[in-house]
Structure 1
Amino acid sequence: MSTPPWHAEHWSRLQARRARGALPHALLLCGPTGLGKRAFAQRFIHGLLCEQPDGNTGVACGHCRACLLLAAGSHPDLVSLTYGLRKDGVQRSEIVVEQIRDLSARLAMSSQFGGWQVAVIDPADAMNAAAANALLKTLEEPAAQTMLVLLADAPWQLPQTIRSRCQRIEFHLPAPDQALAWLQAEGVADAATALQAAGGNPGLARDWTAQGALDRRREVRKDLAALAAGRGQTADVVKRWLDDEPAQRLWFAAQASADEMKARADRQAPPLSSAMDADMLAQWYAAANRTRQALRGPLRDDLLLLELLAMWR
């Protein structure tokens, strides 16, 4: 992934603080998936630990001992924390207090290379309450030249006490013309349609195009139009959606209903020819988004989709 232009301002501000010797002891990088915050974090950390970084840009040299160790994933002063394994070998769904305590003990030790120690917690919003409380002590009493880098797609799930003790770098959707120009430079075919499908998120637009998401988007609209016209079987559509990225298809379904509402408001022919009135379309849009979230829960996915699509038909 080339360095996106919407990273430039964040990068220059962070490097200016580095030049002044005023780097914070904790960073919180947050924003929607697809905007490159993890690539930004890696680029910054590599430059911080590099022995010969570029003096103007802060970018790592790529060939010193530290850079070679970073490339191999074995730099002793970089610790990464994510979902761990339970005693039965199953991956946890949250970051637990024992992991944070081990991390804090590790950061209390001296740097092996005599420079910065960096700890990355990703996703930080997966910490449970006990883990977040344990991290608070480390944030309140940071060791010298120790930096915590927290990454979160949903920063509102972090306690305010954690957020307030971090320098926040928030990645927002870039301007449409900037996003479109970047997608075209990345060689994305039909970049405008891809950007619209991804809700203005250029990183998602690029990844989804490579994964065939635009074909799914067309299939979703075709299915909804057929159901609105009384053609096809709802159960068949449910099975097809469940077999191939159901959450993404629900995203596209909500988009399609929003387009239907907009066409009516603009007094244009509605693309899906739904029999629902404006209020019902708005309710169905909300229901589609709720269903997408509910797919992560304990309810049966097939029943959730069946209820939603039966409402549409």
Structure 2
Amino acid sequence: MSIPPWHVEHWTRLQARRERDALPHALLLCGPRGLGKRDFLQRFVRGLLCMHPSNGEACGSCRSCLLFAAGTHPDYVALSYGLRKDGVQRSEIVVDQIRELSARLATSSQFGGWQIASIDPADAMNAAAANALLKTLEEPASQTMLILVADEAWRMPATIRSRCQRIDFQLPDEPASLAWLQQTGIRDPQAALAAAGGNPGLARIWSEEGALAQRQEVRKDLTALAAGRGDAIEMGKRWLDGGAEQRLWFAAQAVADEIRARAAAQTGPLSSGLDTESLGAWYDAANRTREALRGPLRGDLLLLELLGRWR
């Protein structure tokens, strides 16, 4: 696995604490999506559970490593979205899951070492679940570690965040991002990085998924709608069926480009008839809609309202 350069400092610090036998009982891995937080988690946990680690890296061949690779290690549990009684996946992590996890962590390690649990995404815990987790964080058992992973840590209660050793994965500078993207074989890394808002991890993911073509499609949709050629209902349905949150990201990005172009007295990419103030309001509305799509409201109506305002 290729280790991103922005992982090195975090890894070195954690391993130094491990050498001093000073690892915390709770870690919070946070930062924008795409920066490899979950790869970092897997790498760290494997090394922590390994019977013969070298500089924190797992050997990959001991019994512990083999069990971890098979997903059956008795001293590691990964908590994420559960299923409701009707078999449908939940959209949040609930209190019963946290209570079961706390009971699990209260038992002894079967291998005589660390007992580790991860919660991902930790920012999906509802209020009751977060309150239940506080008890475990305040009274950790010996040789237990709780690792929380969150793309949007601000959603979590401050009481949870303050009780964890926080590891912030931040966007590297542009030269480092471009160098890494070139090493991973991404075509046109400059365009990919711009589309991803400077996030090299997302740039790689979106390039591999062909999302840059979707970015152009979104711009064409908005241009057509501004000229009165597009159908907002058809467009909203197509956006909803093909990754609406990502399309809204690209839409907001295009509007930001339009605003910057006007400020420089240049022609924008969308040929919108909205004035600059209205463009700014639509940009905010697009981001609010992207957020609202995660809730219980009907996505088609949310998109129709937004696109109707654009037209």
Q: Secondary structure at the match of 1:271?
A: coil
- Distance in 1, matches of 2:90 and 2:135, equals 23
Are 2:24 and 1:36 aligned? Answer: no
Deviation at 1:205, TM superposition (A): 1.2
Aligned residue number for residue 69 of structure 2: 71
- Bigger drift between 116-125 and 36-45 goes to 116-125
Q: Which runs of 4+ in 1 moved over 6 A?
A: none
Superposition pairs of residues 231-242 of structure 1, within 5 angstroms: 231-242=229-240
Structure 2 counterpart of 1:74, which letter?
A: T
Deviation at 1:207, TM superposition (A): 1.1
Candidates 244, 247, 253, aligned match of 1:255: 253
Partner deviation per Cα, 1:201-234 (whole Å, 9 max, x = no partner): 1111111112121111111111222222333333
Q: Secondary structure at the match of 2:249?
A: helix
Aligned residue number for residue 106 of structure 2: 108
- Distance in 2, matches of 1:225 and 1:101, equals 51
Structure 2 counterpart of 1:141, which letter?
A: E
Candidates 152, 155, 158, aligned match of 1:154: 152
- Distance in 1, matches of 2:207 and 2:232, equals 27
Deviation at 1:309, TM superposition (A): 2.2
| Closer, same or farther: CA 282–124 of 1 in aligned 2, 3 Å | same
Aligned residue number for residue 265 of structure 2: 267
Aligned residue number for residue 128 of structure 1: 126
Q: Extract unaligned runs of 5+ from structure 2.
A: none
- Distance in 1, matches of 2:82 and 2:300, equals 30
Deviation at 1:298, TM superposition (A): 3.5
- Distance in 2, matches of 1:104 and 1:135, equals 8
- Bigger drift between 223-232 and 8-17 goes to 223-232
- Distance in 2, matches of 1:142 and 1:232, equals 58
- Distance in 2, matches of 1:288 and 1:174, equals 26
Deviation at 1:97, TM superposition (A): 2.1
Are 2:68 and 1:96 aligned? Answer: no
- Distance in 2, matches of 1:135 and 1:309, equals 41
Structure 1 counterpart of 2:167, which letter?
A: I
- Bigger drift between 19-28 and 99-108 goes to 99-108
- Distance in 1, matches of 2:147 and 2:243, equals 31
Q: Extract unaligned runs of 5+ from structure 1.
A: none
- Bigger drift between 176-185 and 133-142 goes to 133-142
Aligned residue number for residue 281 of structure 2: 283
| Closer, same or farther: CA 115–94 of 1 in aligned 2, 3 Å | same
Deviation at 1:96, TM superposition (A): 2.0
| Closer, same or farther: CA 144–297 of 1 in aligned 2, 3 Å | closer
Superposition pairs of residues 131-142 of structure 1, within 5 angstroms: 131-142=129-140
- Distance in 1, matches of 2:231 and 2:90, equals 39
Aligned residue number for residue 5 of structure 1: 5
Structure 1 counterpart of 2:306, which letter?
A: L
- Distance in 1, matches of 2:234 and 2:101, equals 49
Structure 2 length-normalised TM = 0.95
Superposition pairs of residues 221-240 of structure 1, within 5 angstroms: 221-240=219-238
Superposition pairs of residues 51-62 of structure 1, within 5 angstroms: 51-54=51-54, 57-62=55-60
| Closer, same or farther: CA 255–49 of 1 in aligned 2, 3 Å | same
Superposition pairs of residues 200-239 of structure 1, within 5 angstroms: 200-239=198-237
Deviation at 1:87, TM superposition (A): 2.6
- Distance in 1, matches of 2:279 and 2:89, equals 40
Aligned residue number for residue 116 of structure 2: 118
| Closer, same or farther: CA 105–227 of 1 in aligned 2, 3 Å | closer
Aligned residue number for residue 290 of structure 2: 292
Structure 2 counterpart of 1:293, which letter?
A: E
- Distance in 1, matches of 2:86 and 2:305, equals 37
- Distance in 2, matches of 1:101 and 1:309, equals 43
Q: Secondary structure at the match of 2:172?
A: coil
Aligned residue number for residue 142 of structure 2: 144
Aligned residue number for residue 246 of structure 1: 244
- Distance in 2, matches of 1:33 and 1:159, equals 20
Aligned-residue CA RMSD in angstroms? 1.6
Are 2:36 and 1:27 aligned? Answer: no
Partner deviation per Cα, 1:114-158 (whole Å, 9 max, x = no partner): 111111111112222222222222212212111111111221222
The count of corresponding residues between Structure 1 and Structure 2 is 311
- Distance in 2, matches of 1:155 and 1:295, equals 19
